[in-house]
Structure 1
Amino acid sequence: MFGGGGGGLNPRKMKQMMEQMGIDLEDIDAEEVVIKTPEEELVFDDAEVQRMDAQGQQTYQIVGEPATRERGGDGDGESDAGGDAESSAADAEIPQADVDIVAQRAGVDEETARQALEETDGDLAAAVASLE
């Protein structure tokens, strides 16, 4: 990543420098990583995943070769599994990541967070504000 040859830093020195700058690296034992785009899904099996925490931001690095799957015309194919048609439609509109963010920021359960997001048409800031 930082070039070949003998001029690179050794991993121990690199880790020490990152710790001094307040950067924390953590390996994540991920079984699968899925990246969804409007046209396709990139599915990484057995990928190496690292999370870097620096200055309050989390950055994820994925190393591996993804398999590509085309996405269906109805969005993501998993939201229709289980539940009644009304809750499935609502689940498809509000991403789980948004529900998790609102639940964490407002200190409420997922169901309450989802309801707040539905009431604010998916506006994260408005949903959090309505719960505080």
Structure 2
Amino acid sequence: MFGGGGMNPRKMQQMMEQMGIDVDELDATEVVISLEDGSELVFSDPDVTKMDARGQETYQVLGDPSEREGAAGAVESGDDDDDEEDAADDGGDEGIPQGDVDIVVQRAGVPEDEARDALEAVDGDLAAAIEHLE
């Protein structure tokens, strides 16, 4: 990051603190990146680092991803537009993306069904759902 090839890690940490940069290792068990085409990149047992530089959070994920078909790609019938409208209209489980549920579960520390209920209550607004649960 700063070209500290031979620099003492402790000295590097002190320099980062002086610049207002906070670095934390996260104990993540899985990281899922949902792509526009509906597929997902899944990092099992990744090394995740969170860096907070004066309020701007950046995450670094290290690991070997595997690719899998995502929830959006699993629905393969006729006309995609109709499927999306039906899911949005009925307000069922399909109306709330699993990725949003996962974010609320992680941030609020609640079970998945409770996170989904909170999202449905606030029409899918992530921030409002998390705030409601905390």
Matches within 5 A, 1:101-116: 111=117, 114-116=120-122
Count how many residue pairs are aligned between Structure 1 and Structure 2: 106
The correspondence for 1:90, drawn from 87, 91, 95, is 95
Compute the RMSD of aligned alpha carbons.
3.6
The DSSP-based 3-state class of the residue aligned with 1:33 is strand
What is the distance in 2 between the residues matched to 1:2 and 1:22? Answer: 14
What is the distance in 2 between the residues matched to 1:35 and 1:18? Answer: 28
What is the distance in 2 between the residues matched to 1:93 and 1:31? Answer: 17
Matches within 5 A, 1:35-114: 35-39=33-37, 40-71=39-70, 72-74=73-75, 86-92=91-97, 95-96=100-101, 111=117, 114=120
The DSSP-based 3-state class of the residue aligned with 1:30 is coil
TM-score normalised to structure 2 length: 0.58
Unaligned regions of 5+ residues in structure 1, if any? 76-84, 104-108
Per-residue CA shift, 1:55-111, capped at 9, x if unaligned? 112111111111111332439xxxxxxxxx7421322399337868xx9xxxxx954
Instruction: State the Cα distance separating 1:52 from its structure 2 match.
Output: 0.9
What is the distance in 1 between the residues matched to 2:91 and 2:40? Answer: 25
Q: Which amino acid aligns with 2:101?
A: Q
The DSSP-based 3-state class of the residue aligned with 2:97 is helix
Unaligned regions of 5+ residues in structure 2, if any? 77-89, 109-113
- Give the structure with the higher percent helix: 2
